[in-house]
């Protein structure tokens, strides 16, 4: 779950329907809000309506489409997790937080994403909203403390001459 108990949003990009549907089902059953598309162009359209926490790119998505999808997701959410779900060695994987072989245990996809998101949440204290809430609490405390100090200051009055 993400902020305010909402499910984390996953963008699932894949050109092969069987595996795209499998990823969609696995991630949905794990409680993620999944949007599945076939191309980076369709991904761009989906991103006009929503910010994604996770990008999953399936096998057979061309390198150009994969790179475009990563760039688009990261432009809108630099902290998004990126997972490539492939069956062979691929080049240009620097943007991936994880690369999984889809011929393995499919539950690894869910576990890997959950693990990566938990690490991010632990590192940044729950994300930008959590940091903002902590900052607001500190500012509120400082404001209240200053108000108390000002209230305790003696009132000086000037005597009329």
pLDDT for residue 97 = 87
Give residue 115's pLDDT: 93
More confident residue, 56 or 91: 56
- Portion of the chain with pLDDT greater than 70, in percent: 70
- pLDDT grade, residue 39 (50/70/90)? confident
**What dihedral do alpha carbons 128, 97, 54, 72 form, nearest 10°?**
90
Q: Is the pLDDT of residue 53 over 90?
A: yes
The pLDDT score that the predictor gives to residue 95 is 79
pLDDT at 131: 56
Query: pLDDT per residue over 104-149, tens digit each?
Result: 788 899 999 999 999 888 876 555 555 555 555 556 565 655 566 6
The predicted structure's pLDDT at residue 60: 85
Residue with tokens 């994604």: 52
Give the DSSP letter of residue 61: -
Contact 11, 43 (CB under 8 A): yes
Q: Enumerate the domain spans of the chain.
A: 3-124
80-89, pLDDT tens digit by residue? 999 998 876 6
Res 144: pLDDT:
59
Q: Give the pLDDT of residue 155.
A: 64
3-124 sits in which CATH class? alpha beta
Contact 56/13 with Cβ under 8 angstroms? yes
CA atoms within 13 A on the CB side of 146: 6
- 94: Cβ contacts below 8 Å, ≥ 6 apart: none
Nearest to 111 by CA among 45, 37, 33, 30: 30
Rounded CA separation 95/80 (Å):
11
Our measurement of the distance from residue 126's CA atom to the centroid of its chain's CA atoms, rounded to an integer in Å, reads: 11
pLDDT at residue 80, as a whole number:
94
* Residues 6 or more apart whose Cβ sits within 8 Å of residue 160: none
Please state, for a pLDDT cut of 90, what percent of the chain lies above it. Answer: 40
Comparing C-alpha atoms, which of 57, 90, 88 is closest to residue 72? 57
Q: With H, G, I as helix, E, B as strand and everything else as coil, classify residue 135.
A: helix
CA dist 24 and 37 (Å) reads: 10
């Amino acid at each position: 779950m993400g902020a305010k108990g909402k499910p984390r949003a996953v963008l699932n990009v894949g050109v092969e329907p069987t595996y795209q549907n499998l990823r969609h089902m696995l991630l949905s059953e794990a409680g993620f809000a999944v949007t599945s598309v076939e191309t980076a162009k369709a991904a761009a359209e989906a991103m006009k309506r929503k910010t994604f926490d996770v990008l999953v790119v399936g096998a057979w998505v061309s390198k150009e489409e994969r790179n475009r999808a990563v760039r688009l997701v990261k432009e809108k959410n630099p902290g998004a997790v990126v997972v490539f779900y492939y069956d062979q060695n691929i080049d240009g994987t620097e943007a991936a937080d994880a690369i999984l072989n889809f011929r393995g245990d499919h539950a690894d996809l869910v576990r890997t994403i959950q693990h990566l998101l938990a690490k991010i949440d632990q590192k940044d204290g729950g994300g930008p909203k959590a940091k903002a809430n902590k900052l607001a609490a500190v500012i509120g405390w400082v404001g209240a403390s200053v108000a108390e100090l000002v209230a305790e200051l003696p009132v000086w009055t000037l005597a009329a001459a």
